[in-house]
Amino acid sequence: MSTALDNLALDRTDDGILTITVNRPTKLNALNAATIADIKQAMEMARDDERVRGVIITGSGEKAFVAGADIAELAGLDEVMGRRVAEAGQEVFCMIEESTKPVIAAVNGFALGGGCELAMACHIRVASDNARFGQPEVNLGLVPGYGGTQRLTQLVGKGKSLELLMSADQIKADEALRLGLVNHVVPQAELLNFCRQLLTRIISKAPLAVGMVIDCVNAYYSPERNGYQAEANAFGRCFRSADFHEGTQAFLEKRPAHFTGA
């Protein structure tokens, strides 16, 4: 199944993988308000469609994943409007981060500003060997607005995060891998296939358990939640699921498990 929103191309395969492609090639897939709204709609579709088991987010073309925000749109904002734009973007990126269906960023080129923030909101990041990452907002007299100061620090640590945020330096894919910003680096021609293979392995596991893993890991970073208690609660809930009974029975019978997500 293939469809499109104004700024996205959507493709759902029979194995349950939805690929969301940011499709503004003449703007290097830069994020504007309409594109953020389209991503929100696509993630809502993924959440509500039982046929979708996992999501890949990428950019059109070979040059850019998302090369940043649409500067022409930002130039006309005042303080109140700027805060609202940031809050709207944060809402959508938190929706990605909190999705109980796994989301992989296939970073096929420049991931700058909002693009880097979009990639960091995904659960796993795979970069092509020509990818570049950076938060160049201070070059414009800005700070990241979609969660970049928070997620970059979580991923690479305080000192390196501050250096990258304050210097606006771009880093190559191999450096992003060394820092833990990405999980894998592969040749660009192999990027989407690698992501599909990785996501296929993940969605072959018990869907409820995979979703609970995401929630428990996110709980570690939430000041309002006790991550250990979240884990204990999730562990307990697993015992009433059909997937737990199927998984344990399949293990004892030495056969593949057939999970239903119940």
The residues assigned a catalytic role are 117, 137
- 115-126: b or e for each residue (b if 16 or more CB lie within 10 Å)? bbbbbbbbbbbb
C-alpha gyration radius of the chain: 19
Tokens read off for 222: 């939430």
- Reported residue count of the chain is 262
